[in-house]
Amino acid sequence: MTSITLDTHKFVRRLKESGFTEEQAEAVADAFKEAQGEAELATKQDLRELEYRLIIKLGGMMVVAVGIVATLDKIL
């Protein structure tokens, strides 16, 4: 999966501008970066690959269903 980059310097600076102390801002930035690294986010490419796999599986199921119906039609 693709990772999302975080500009920690900009993030810390923005927190400090909003009233955080240097230590608080760095702690929040570190916690956010750590949590972000643990999250598994789906990218557009991941979703596209999933869509292709689903299309292939659905197509295979339709082929099998048509084959079953054709076989039953001949038998009955």
Residue spans of the domains in the chain: they are 1-41, 42-76
Q: Tell me what the pLDDT averaged over the chain comes to.
A: 88
Q: Quick one: what percent of the chain has pLDDT higher than 90?
A: 64
CB atoms within 10 A of CB 15: 19
Secondary structure letter of residue 3 according to DSSP:
P
Retrieve residue 1's tokens.
Answer: 């999966």
More confident residue, 5 or 35: 35
Cα–Cα distances in angstroms (integers) from residue 18 to residues 1, 6, 32, in the given order: 33, 18, 17
pLDDT in tens, 21-42: 999 999 998 888 887 776 677 8
| Mean pLDDT within 47-54 | 96
Q: Identify whether the C-beta of residue 15 lies closer than 8 Å to the C-beta of residue 29.
A: yes
Tell me if the pTM is above 0.85.
no
